[in-house]
Structure 1
């Protein structure tokens, strides 16, 4: 029995419908591996190859590329973060080393300054200890060395007399050790000091004595007060310079003081 179409105009299946059907068939045949042998010329002629858009491969490829791109960006960001961290660490280390070096240099400069100050202080003290001065500040000689007259048992003056009102401060002219402090006969109350350079100095006619034998004295150290004790005609200071502690070894006191830088 034959079937006939109903009367009226019938449309052929659309191209999209045919393509979908063909793609379904192609997919089925592809699973069996016989797509190449079973495709008839008519089927080949009627079936168009599916486009990339129709198969969805573009979307798959695009999504794969996007994932790779995101992964690459993430890796790049991680590398940048690691590089930034390493750079920050290196910078912090460099800054710490710079601060440590600056601190070391500052400490070295401070130490050098302290040492220089100490050296200067020691040098100043050395100069002070090696310096000489007048036995009475601001005084002057009233009777010179080797002046002749009956006032002296030897016939001449064995030292010099410095003008001094009674009670004036008498000081050691330099650094040394007291070897005599007390009554000295014609010298009255007197002090004899062995100076550090090996010479001796004597201070006579004192009204009082403020040092004792064995005591170390420095330039300007008060050893007593001026007076008129012993063989004296009035308040003054008798000053002698000697090569030994014994009477008779006297040398010119003015020349002695001047040789040590004292303006007499």
Structure 2
């Protein structure tokens, strides 16, 4: 075999020889590096390295395609799972928002109902108080008229009775017949101890011959409130309550007391 020397390089003559195993291995490693660079996992080249060098040149493309397809499927599955998780999270948020909205609406309705009930109770209480303050009662509970209005006789200076007498033993509680303000409380001449009240409707009521007075001028009273005790003070022949209804606080402006009380809902 003859050798020629060119630029210091030794060149073999004759037929080209098959690349050595070292050369093939280097090529395979380069192929693996190329596959890794293009996104295929480096381990995919392992079969190529372990292949018998007696087999035809095996590039490993079949394995790479198969494994690449499996990886794509996994990526699709992950994407689908992520989409499902996102959809479930959105549905959960929507459900929570709807639940909050429903709860807020129920709370609003409950508060509106409670407010309406409070207002109804307040109206009922005001109405009850109004009725109580505008109600009238008899001046002596469970009593009766013993001497009628405008009865004649010498016992009265005017010649007739300017009020009515209610039967009552001395010391019997005397009540205001309605709500009003006391304008007179004390000695009243022939009436003895007496009280005059300006009623809420502008009329006046008078209570005479009292054994004791329990209110003072300027004091407000309510229907049925005890204001005195009956007695026999002043121009009387025995204990009882003299009751008058008037258009003014002065003597001589009298009204029929029975008709007055009945007009205000009192049964006599």
TM-score w.r.t. length of structure 1: 0.77
C-alpha distance in structure 2 between counterparts of 1:178 and 1:55, whole Å? 122
Aligned equivalent of 1:213 = 217
**2:204 is equivalent to residue 222 of structure 1:** no
**2:229 is equivalent to residue 242 of structure 1:** no
C-alpha distance in structure 2 between counterparts of 1:55 and 1:215, whole Å? 118
Aligned 1:1-264 pairs, distance under 5 A:
58-264=62-268
3-state secondary structure, aligned to 2:136:
coil
C-alpha distance in structure 2 between counterparts of 1:211 and 1:253, whole Å? 22
Shift of 1:58: 4.7
TM-score w.r.t. length of structure 2: 0.76
3-state secondary structure, aligned to 1:233:
coil
Alignment gaps of 5+ in structure 1 = 1-23, 25-53
C-alpha distance in structure 2 between counterparts of 1:58 and 1:151, whole Å? 141
C-alpha distance in structure 1 between counterparts of 2:172 and 2:254, whole Å? 24
3-state secondary structure, aligned to 1:119:
helix
C-alpha distance in structure 2 between counterparts of 1:66 and 1:169, whole Å? 107
Question: How many residues align structurally?
Answer: 212
Moved over 6 A (4+): none
C-alpha distance in structure 2 between counterparts of 1:133 and 1:58, whole Å? 113
C-alpha distance in structure 2 between counterparts of 1:206 and 1:83, whole Å? 90
RMSD of the alignment, in Å?
Answer: 1.6
Farther off after superposition, 114-123 or 101-110:
101-110
Shift of 1:196: 1.2
C-alpha distance in structure 2 between counterparts of 1:58 and 1:159, whole Å? 129
C-alpha distance in structure 1 between counterparts of 2:127 and 2:160, whole Å? 41
C-alpha distance in structure 2 between counterparts of 1:59 and 1:78, whole Å? 28
User: How far does the alpha carbon of each residue in 1:216-235 deviate from its partner, in whole angstroms, 9 at most, with x for none?
Assistant: 11111111001111111111
C-alpha distance in structure 2 between counterparts of 1:189 and 1:127, whole Å? 30
C-alpha distance in structure 2 between counterparts of 1:133 and 1:62, whole Å? 107
Shift of 1:56: 6.0
C-alpha distance in structure 2 between counterparts of 1:140 and 1:199, whole Å? 22
Shift of 1:59: 3.7
